[in-house]
Amino acid sequence: MPILEAIDVHGGYGGMNILNGVDMAIEADEVGVIVGPNGAGKSTMLKAVFGLLTITGGEIRLRGEPITNLSPHKLVEMGMGFVPQEKNIFPSLSVEENLEMGAFLKPATASRLKQQIFEFFPPLKEKRRQPAGELSGGQRQMVAMGRALMNEPSVLLLDEPTAGLSPLYMNEIFERVKAIAASGVGVLMVEQNAKQALRIAHRGFVLAAGQNRFTDTGEALLNDPQVARSFLGG
Amino acid sequence: MNELIYFFNYVVVAGSVTGCIYAMGAVGVTLIYSILRFAHFAHADMMTLGTFVVLLLTMLFPHAGDALGLPTAIVMLPIGMVFTSLVAVGIDRAFYQPLRAHKVKPIVMVIASLGVTLMLQGLIRLFAGTGAQSLYVDARKEIFRIDIPGVTRPIILTEPQIILFVVTIVAVVGLHLFLTRARLGKAMRAMSDNPDLARASGINTQLIVTLTWVIAGGLATIAGTLLSLDVAFKPDLSFFLLLPIFAAAIVGGVGHPLGAIAGGFLVGFAETLAVFNWSVLLRPIRDSLPSWIELPNNLAIVGTEYKIVVPFFILVAVLIWRPTGIFKGKVI
Amino acid sequence: MNDSDSTSQPRRSTPQPSQNASQHRRDAPALARPTLPLRELVLFGGLAVIVLGVFSMMGPAYATRMLVEASCYAILALGLTIQWGYAGQFNAGIMGFVALGGFSATFFSIPVNHAFWQSDLPARLGWVLLAIIAVVAIVFAITRLDRIGVPKLLRTILAVVAGLIGYLVVVSWLRSVTGDIESQVEFIGGLGLPVWLGWIVGGALAGGIGYVIGHICLGLRSDYLVIATLGIAEIIKAFLKNSDWLTRGTATISPLPWPVPTPGDVGFLSARAFYLAVTVVMIAVIFFLLHRAYHAPWGRMIRAIRDNEVSAAAMGKSINRRRQEIFVFGCILMGVGGAALTSFNGIFDPQGYLPLNHTFLVLVMVILGGPGNNLGTLFGAVLVYVIWIMSGPLALALMHLVTALGGDWFGWQPGNLDSRALQARVFVIGLLILMVLRFAPRGLIPEKVAQHD
């Protein structure tokens, strides 16, 4: 059974439908990557999963349980983590405090998990007392992911985690994403850097106009000439 | 030396007293601002309300403090704080929360808080009348005179002033520790930083809002009560506090609790220094001045009746030169 | 869209000027929306019934006085409705502008104090004024010393020191002159000029203060304007209250001349009716000007800025300039309205200006009537003022009832019932503000937002 499953999801903002029937499913140790042109509804889909916009049709399931239109707060309790694209840290809080906020619902495990996160993202350990707003872009992204991981999620949603990062950091972040999935967390992420992202993806979903255009393994999509031509720039 | 003691009594002590009061008020304003994003104009009336509750309790049990050797009002203070906090939370639920749910502009929240101001003022004066009342019901204020050898004039401190200094230090240190160490305090700062992410992290924002009102209401009660203990309870207390408190919060950088404390002391001392009659200090050198300089008897920068000009002037100066405040608040 | 409905004229059509002016009360609803102003008709009809009720119960002289005061308040409310309703700027210091207008009306209209002008005091006062100008000039000159290479820090220090010394010298000098004025001739008296001149200057003074405040605050968050106006109002009041040499302070000045025959000449009813005619004409003129401005490109720009500042700025609108204009214009109206109100009251008492009566009451009029809708504001002003005036005796009666019950049940015996009854009204005003914000945020006669294609 997939850990996260979306079946024929419709939805949008203020009566305007952006999603017109999206299907996706990922297993507990898989990376799912959503790619597609601008305006295809990639980020919208992620927000729909996290309960940030009203779904007008279809269903979303977490471990087989329906979670359609549950509030973000409830979803966090059920083990979902979300890292927005922008404003994904608390800038005036220290790195350590940012992580603690991620474990707000499970304070007892905070210090143990914090150590794990520091081992997982070594650059954060030395900057633990520094306000997160003073870090570089890549380190901020690590803080943001670390904060979401502090809740020990079973599913992690990442909205363009490598946007605006240098290639060095991008690879670093993708490596970490792979490692997160390997530890048994289902990762669903939206990416602009489609080729690199599909390389680590177990599942790839190519969206266009709010619908699945291609759905396959990452590798298969990369090798599909049609996908390459239309969506990956040749 | 006499003049220096005079300066100490009328500037250092008085300025510290005013500074403590303004600081605690400004912290409340700044906390409410950083969590709820609007300027809470009813804050000074929450001070009055808290003080009034303490006054009522003191009148009911005038001798409750005797056993502890403290003024009764101090013993009643925690009850007053709890009550005022509950009222503050209730007002939020009844009036502010529905508006927040409608996502109104911050300025509408400000107008709502002006409405709350009028309600509280009306209510308090309805029951308390408009006259001043001492918080020392059936008791006497203790005044300490500390003699300095070789000087005729003593340093004068009153019991409420000493209590005020101690309580302010405890409250400020406590608040600082709470915000930097406690889980909920950090969550409060997190929500002030990024409310959406706080929600996405599973922080119970409703709880944080409630907590903010509890802290602000508690601090307001402490400040109002200790001020009234030193002077007297006046139902129009709020009127004289509103402008200095906001000036203090803005000077310190809105959304910045430590800045608000610094701003409170800055405004408090500025007020005291501005109304202080400087010619007193110049008296000893009067005889040595050349005869063409005639020292006027009154060398205060502003008369006491124009005290309100001082916070206003500071406010305007900050708005012109540094709208984010000296500690870089969140607001521009 | 507009043209598809053949029975209605296009909304943006400019009204014919002849329809306006003196008859505006009856015609204005038709102007605002030519289709079917049922809501307006019903509300104004109800208001007319209430006003007629007051006429029959309290007598025409009393009711006319109430209407004159209500019309003065309507001018204040129109001032606020353009600031708050048109431009989203909230002014919490209406009282200050009212007091300023009131002072100007008083100063211009009351008789000349010959004792003052025949003494040496005017000359001494003149010297102090010159000294003030000199100090300002010196400080200004110091800030310009960079021309000869004085570093910034030194300039700042010099300017502050010079300003402080100059200020102290001038102030102690002024204190001695004003002290002599108070002891020798009581106060400087007035100018003995026609009262309407005072009204105009009052508006100009209020506009000037509004300009300075607006200049400082309008580029910042809206909350700051609230704090600043609140503060300036208190400062104006403190100044007028404590400057006995200028205003007689708490001793008050009365009687004040009217621009029309006074009750002493033609009786209460006629005099008040004349006064009412004056204020109604003023409202009509303001109303007409506002109506034109609202539908002119300028008004559309103002509303565009209020509704979406960013896109208005992106379209190249000079936001702060427009805001400044609107704020100053609103303040001018408040100054004029305050002048008219003070002249009518016949007494200048700085302590009589209260935030409750002169700021919050106006606020309630505007938000209840309909911010941004002139007609709604007018309606709100008259309705709220009638309720306010009538609620005084009512509150007192209620208070007596409550104390009687309270005395029976709990032995509660509060003294000073009258002032307490007034406080009950304060509570009600506050509650009313909150209720309107929550349940009728756009007022009883909301601003009609034009639906353009």
Q: Which chains touch B (3 or more CB pairs under 8 A)?
A: A, C
Does residue B154 or residue B282 have the better pLDDT? B154
Helix B237-251 vs helix B106-128: crossing angle, to nearest 10: 150
Show which of residues 218-237 on chain C sit within 8 Å of chain B, judged by CB atoms.
220-224, 226-228, 230-232, 234-235
Interface test with B, best of C224, C308, C368, C388 (most B CBs within 10 A): C224
Domain C11-113+186-439 has CATH 1.10.3470: yes
User: What residues contact residue C306 under an 8 Å CB cut-off, 6+ apart?
Assistant: C86, C87, C88
Q: Which of A134, A152, A170 is the last residue of a domain?
A: A152
Co-location of A114 and A57 in the same domain: no
Co-location of A32 and A44 in the same domain: yes
B/C touch flag: 3 or more CB pairs below 8 Å: yes
Does residue B233 or residue C396 have the better pLDDT? B233
Instruction: Give the count of Cβ contacts less than 8 A between chain B and C.
Output: 148
Q: Which contacts of C10-18 are long-range, i.e. CB under 8 A and separated by 24 or more positions?
A: C11/C448, C11/C450, C12/C295, C12/C450, C14/C292, C14/C295, C15/C291, C17/C288
User: What residues contact residue C310 under an 8 Å CB cut-off, 6+ apart?
Assistant: none
Q: For position C357, what pLDDT does the model report?
A: 82
Question: CB distance from C22 to chain B under 8 Å?
Answer: no
CATH number for the domain harbouring residue A47: 3.40.50.300
User: Residue A102's CB: how many other CB atoms inside 10 A?
Assistant: 31
Domain count, chain A: 2
Verify whether the Cβ–Cβ distance B193 to A93 is below 8 Å. yes
pLDDT above 90 (res A34): yes
CATH number for the domain harbouring residue B11: 1.10.3470
The number of angstroms, rounded, from the C-alpha of C143 to the middle of its chain's C-alpha atoms is 36
Q: Cα torsion for B76, B81, B84, B89, to the nearest 10°?
A: -150
Q: Rounded to whole angstroms, what are the CA distances from C70 to B30, C276, C332, C431?
A: 39, 10, 18, 22
Query: Which chain A residues are within 8 Å of B183, Cβ to Cβ?
Result: 100, 104, 107
User: Residue C186's CB: how many other CB atoms inside 10 A?
Assistant: 15
Q: Which of A136, A152, A168 is the last residue of a domain?
A: A152
A/C touch flag: 3 or more CB pairs below 8 Å: no
Cα dihedral across residues C4, C8, C10, C12: positive or negative? negative
Give which of A60, A73, A65, A134 is closest to A105, Cα–Cα.
Answer: A73
Co-location of A39 and A66 in the same domain: yes
pLDDT above 90 (res A233): no
Co-location of A37 and A101 in the same domain: no
CA distance A102 to chain B (A): 5
Has residue B227 been placed in a domain?
Answer: yes
Give which of B107, B78, B103, B96 is closest to B222, Cα–Cα.
Answer: B78
User: Residue C67's CB: how many other CB atoms inside 10 A?
Assistant: 24
Co-location of A159 and A233 in the same domain: yes
Q: For position A177, what pLDDT does the model report?
A: 93
Q: For position B62, what pLDDT does the model report?
A: 84
Show which of residues 387-426 on chain C sit within 8 Å of chain B, judged by CB atoms.
414-416, 419-420, 423-426
Co-location of A98 and A73 in the same domain: no
User: What residues contact residue B10 under an 8 Å CB cut-off, 6+ apart?
Assistant: B272, B276
Verify whether the Cβ–Cβ distance A72 to B183 is below 8 Å. no
User: What residues contact residue B50 under an 8 Å CB cut-off, 6+ apart?
Assistant: B80, B81, B83, B84, B217, B220, B221, B222, B224, B225
pLDDT tens readout for residues B65-83: 788 888 888 889 999 999 9
Q: What is the mean pLDDT of residues B312-324?
A: 87
- Is residue B51 within 8 Å of residue B33, measured between CB atoms? no
- Which chain B residue is nearest to residue A129, measuring alpha carbons? B180
Has residue B314 been placed in a domain?
Answer: yes
Co-location of A121 and A167 in the same domain: no
Residue A233's region, left for phi above 0, alpha for psi from -120 to 50, else beta, is left
Has residue B326 been placed in a domain?
Answer: no
pLDDT tens readout for residues A105-142: 888 888 899 999 999 999 899 999 999 999 988 899 99
Please, which residues bridge with residue B145 across strands? B156
Q: For position C306, what pLDDT does the model report?
A: 79
Q: For position A127, what pLDDT does the model report?
A: 92
B/A touch flag: 3 or more CB pairs below 8 Å: yes
- Which chain B residue is nearest to residue A99, measuring alpha carbons? B201
Q: For position C31, what pLDDT does the model report?
A: 45
- Is residue A49 within 8 Å of residue A188, measured between CB atoms? yes
Q: What is the mean pLDDT of residues A149-161?
A: 92
Q: For position B224, what pLDDT does the model report?
A: 93
Please give the Cα distance from B31 to B219 (Å, whole number): 11
CA distance B244 to chain C (A): 10
Please give the Cα distance from C87 to C39 (Å, whole number): 25
Verify whether the Cβ–Cβ distance B190 to A105 is below 8 Å. no
Tokens of C292: 């034109």
Q: For position C233, what pLDDT does the model report?
A: 92
User: A62 phi and psi, to 5 degrees?
Assistant: -115, 120
Q: What are the b/e assignments for A57-67, b being 16+ CB within 10 Å?
A: ebebbbbeeeb
Q: For position C410, what pLDDT does the model report?
A: 60
- The percentage of chain A sitting over the pLDDT mark of 90, rounded to a whole number, equals 47
Q: Is C192 helix (H, G, I), strand (E, B) or coil?
A: coil
- Is residue C110 within 8 Å of residue C128, measured between CB atoms? no
In the 8-state DSSP scheme, what is residue A53?
S
Co-location of A234 and A175 in the same domain: yes
Q: How far apart are the first and last CA of chain A?
A: 35
The amino acid at C429: I
Q: Where are the domains of chain C?
A: 11-113+186-439
Please give the Cα distance from A177 to A169 (Å, whole number): 12
Co-location of A147 and A160 in the same domain: no
Which position has the token pair 């009203």?
A54
Q: Which structural domain range is residue A54 located in?
A: 1-79+153-234
- Please state whether beta strands A203-208 and A55-62 pair in parallel, antiparallel, or not at all (unpaired): unpaired
User: What residues contact residue B117 under an 8 Å CB cut-off, 6+ apart?
Assistant: B41, B42, B44, B45, B238, C430
Residue B127's region, left for phi above 0, alpha for psi from -120 to 50, else beta, is alpha
Cross-sheet strand order for the sheet of A65-66: A16-26, A4-13, A55-62, A65-66
Q: Which chains touch C (3 or more CB pairs under 8 A)?
A: B
Average pLDDT, chain B: 88
Question: How many CA atoms, within 13 angstroms, populate the side-chain half-sphere of residue C130?
Answer: 6
Co-location of A65 and A101 in the same domain: no
Domain count, chain B: 1
Q: For position C295, what pLDDT does the model report?
A: 84
- Out of A77, A84, A92, closest to residue B189 by CB: A92
Q: What are the b/e assignments for C349-383, b being 16+ CB within 10 Å?
A: bbeebebbbbbbbbbbbbbbbbbbbbbbbbbbbbb
Question: CB distance from C250 to chain B under 8 Å?
Answer: no
pLDDT by 10s per residue, chain C, length 453: 333 333 333 333 333 333 333 334 444 444 444 555 788 888 888 889 988 988 888 888 889 999 999 999 999 999 999 898 888 888 999 999 999 999 999 999 999 988 888 888 899 999 999 999 999 999 988 888 877 877 888 888 888 899 888 888 888 888 888 888 888 888 888 898 999 999 999 999 999 999 999 988 887 778 889 989 999 999 999 999 998 888 888 888 888 889 888 888 888 888 999 999 999 999 999 999 988 888 888 888 888 887 777 777 777 667 788 888 999 999 999 999 999 999 999 999 999 998 888 899 999 999 999 888 888 999 999 999 998 888 877 777 777 777 777 666 665 555 666 677 777 788 888 998 999 998 888 888 887 765 443
ipTM over 0.90: no
pLDDT above 60 (res B213): yes
Has residue B330 been placed in a domain?
Answer: no
Question: CB distance from A92 to chain B under 8 Å?
Answer: yes
Please give the Cα distance from C284 to C21 (Å, whole number): 5
The amino acid at C310: V
Q: Is B289 exposed, middle or buried (0-12, 13-18, 19+ CB in 10 A)?
A: exposed
Q: What ranges in C218-318 are assigned the alpha helix state H?
A: 222-242, 244-247, 263-266, 268-295, 297-307, 309-314
Q: Which of A135, A152, A169 is the last residue of a domain?
A: A152
